[in-house]
Structure 1
Amino acid sequence: MVSPDPLFNQSLEKGLEALRAFTAVHRTLTLGELATLTGMTKSSAQRTVHTLEQLGYVDKHPQTRRFRLTPKVMEIGYNYLAADSLIPIASPYLSQLANASGETANLTEPVGLDMVYVAQLMTAKHMPVLTPVGMRIPMYCTSSGRAYLSTLPDAQAREMLERSARAARTPATLTDVDAIFTRVAACRTVGYACNEEELFLGDMGVGAPIVNSQGIAVGAVHVSPPVSRWTMEEAQRKLGPLVVECAWAISRSIGH
């Protein structure tokens, strides 16, 4: 039996779980719904949400009496973005990529089995899918995730794929570990990874890994060409080299 961590603060854990319970699907929650989503007892959920309300991170709608997040929550995420040294290094190269490709350029960083958008240089062209900064996307079915996995040893990459949910997000989503790993391994040869409508219908991805001076991956850069403007073959031929060049330039500029 594993001994409990005497320094682990369960109250803080509950507070963070409560904040994470609010999503695009659950924009507002009753106390009972919050308790169910977090696995807390109703009394524990009440104490937690009351504390968050007093601190200004949650408030209650005056008519519906349902709880909702407040803009103050954004301070936490913004503090990370403000302190992230990779973003100012990558920004000029993302701008060049967006201009050269005509498509929105994105910077993502790994969090567990996901990649998180931390920067984005948009173009005036229509984007069929909104992917704002802060959004998490799974590694197994995205170009940026596969690009990141391609830098890891085979055993580690496979282990992470095994632990991934590997849900079929669309009819095109690859869910077999061997099939996904084949795409991951291909990135090592051509320099970029792809996904073709595996996360969202109508949306593709071409991504390349960003590594530091020790060769350790710290993120990935990608563009998401829509099928309304590109075929996968065209995207690989024209966008692949641009994405690789952008990722290489960012990697070369990292000082640590």
Structure 2
Amino acid sequence: MDSKVMLQEEEPANRLYIQSFAKGLAVILAFGPGRREMNLPELAAETGMSKSAVQRFAFTLETLGYLRKNPETKRYALTPKVIELGYRYLLIDPVLERASPYLLELNRKCGENINISEPDGTDMVYVGRFPGFHYMPVYMPIGRRLPMFCTSAGRAYLAALSQDEAADIIDRSSLEKFTPTTVTDRQELLDLVEKARQQGYATANGEYYQGDLGIGIVIRGHNSEPVAVINMSAPSSRWSLQRMEEELAPQLLEVSRLISSAAPEPRKAAPFKRGIEEVRAHR
């Protein structure tokens, strides 16, 4: 996905839309790999704003503590305070709070990576991760976005939608071939989604990271709507996909059922609520 942030030439035709607020967010989102520091002309080019406009937004964000300016180079960079914006979501996400005790227990039982992700557009965004006991060469930080079409988490979510909804997301996806095993044929992808719909879980065989095997199962909220996906990933050096399906898929299915139907025990949930209580106490 192209990380370059450009403002739309035509803003939404609604008087409630605050253009200046959108521009301020665009300045923050302009930073990324290869753009860790930028001067005003570079920020202006990246956001599509004038230099004078971007200067005002950069000054405001610097004053608020979200940007810092190097006094010698005049280049801006993000500060750790930006993390607080996303961290707030993690603190109050009810699905993550409910699922975490179960996922930690499953992680301790199987020893492999257990993740929870939520849908956004054509991607799944990782909001929780419990690393396995073994070395894994895959770096998967919280907030990482992965395409739905080629990941077990994404296919599990697509399988929980109607056929038309799943097809629409696939049609809007950039079907890039990330590894030799990435499936990019539209009909084959729809068949894989249908297979996941029938068996209750989805799989992916090293289609985004080579050698990374995955099984994904949806979590349902009120009215049985899909709200998130839990997935287990393991390397092909230790597992085969068939063995994962036989030994690990049943465990993941049971955890998904528990998350969707039963609140965790208070003593197991308590550690995951401490952050929320701390935020409330400091308001």
Q: TM-score, normalised by structure 1?
A: 0.92
Query: How far is 1:63 from its partner?
Result: 4.6
- Partners of 2:102 and 2:31 lie apart in 1 by 34
Which of 218, 222, 243 in structure 2 is aligned with 1:209? Answer: 218
Do the aligned residues in 2 keep the contact of 1:207 with 1:221 (CA within 8 Å)?
Answer: yes
- Partners of 2:208 and 2:69 lie apart in 1 by 34
Which of 147, 160, 165 in structure 1 is aligned with 2:174? Answer: 165
Do the aligned residues in 2 keep the contact of 1:213 with 1:254 (CA within 8 Å)?
Answer: no
Query: How far is 1:45 from its partner?
Result: 2.2
**Aligned-partner SS, 2:128:** strand
Which of 154, 165, 179 in structure 1 is aligned with 2:163? Answer: 154
Which of 167, 190, 196 in structure 1 is aligned with 2:199? Answer: 190
Which residue does the alignment assign to 2:19? 10
Do the aligned residues in 2 keep the contact of 1:104 with 1:120 (CA within 8 Å)?
Answer: yes
Unaligned 5+ residue runs, structure 2? 1-9, 265-283
**Aligned-partner SS, 2:184:** coil
1:88 matched to 2:93? The reply is no
Do the aligned residues in 1 keep the contact of 2:158 with 2:166 (CA within 8 Å)?
Answer: yes
1:123 matched to 2:137? The reply is no
Do the aligned residues in 2 keep the contact of 1:29 with 1:66 (CA within 8 Å)?
Answer: yes
Which of 1, 18, 30 in structure 1 is aligned with 2:39? Answer: 30
Query: How far is 1:84 from its partner?
Result: 1.0
Calculate percent identity across the aligned residue pairs.
41
Tell me how many residue pairs correspond in the alignment.
255
Do the aligned residues in 2 keep the contact of 1:213 with 1:252 (CA within 8 Å)?
Answer: no
Which of 243, 246, 249 in structure 2 is aligned with 1:237? Answer: 246
- Partners of 1:27 and 1:12 lie apart in 2 by 22
Query: How far is 1:153 from its partner?
Result: 0.7
Cα deviation 1:175-201 (Å, max 9, x = unaligned): 222221211111112211111111112
Q: Structure 1 residues 213 and 8 mapped into 2: Cα distance closer, same or farther (>3 Å)?
A: closer
- Partners of 1:207 and 1:36 lie apart in 2 by 40
Q: TM-score, normalised by structure 2?
A: 0.84
Do the aligned residues in 1 keep the contact of 2:11 with 2:19 (CA within 8 Å)?
Answer: no
Which residue does the alignment assign to 1:142? 151
Q: Aligned-pair RMSD on alpha carbons?
A: 2.0
Do the aligned residues in 2 keep the contact of 1:139 with 1:145 (CA within 8 Å)?
Answer: yes
Do the aligned residues in 2 keep the contact of 1:109 with 1:220 (CA within 8 Å)?
Answer: yes
Which residue does the alignment assign to 1:225? 234
Do the aligned residues in 2 keep the contact of 1:115 with 1:137 (CA within 8 Å)?
Answer: yes
Query: How far is 1:71 from its partner?
Result: 0.8
1:100 matched to 2:142? The reply is no
**Letter paired with 1:210:** I
**Aligned-partner SS, 2:115:** strand
Do the aligned residues in 1 keep the contact of 2:149 with 2:189 (CA within 8 Å)?
Answer: yes
**Letter paired with 1:95:** L
Which of 74, 81, 84 in structure 2 is aligned with 1:75? Answer: 84
- Partners of 1:25 and 1:180 lie apart in 2 by 33
Do the aligned residues in 2 keep the contact of 1:87 with 1:118 (CA within 8 Å)?
Answer: yes
Which residue does the alignment assign to 1:112? 121
Unaligned 5+ residue runs, structure 1? none
Cα deviation 1:114-141 (Å, max 9, x = unaligned): 1111111223311211111111111111
Do the aligned residues in 2 keep the contact of 1:128 with 1:203 (CA within 8 Å)?
Answer: no
Q: Structure 1 residues 3 and 216 mapped into 2: Cα distance closer, same or farther (>3 Å)?
A: closer
Query: How far is 1:81 from its partner?
Result: 1.0
Which residue does the alignment assign to 2:4? none
Query: How far is 1:78 from its partner?
Result: 1.2
Q: Structure 1 residues 32 and 170 mapped into 2: Cα distance closer, same or farther (>3 Å)?
A: farther
Which of 52, 55, 65 in structure 2 is aligned with 1:46? Answer: 55
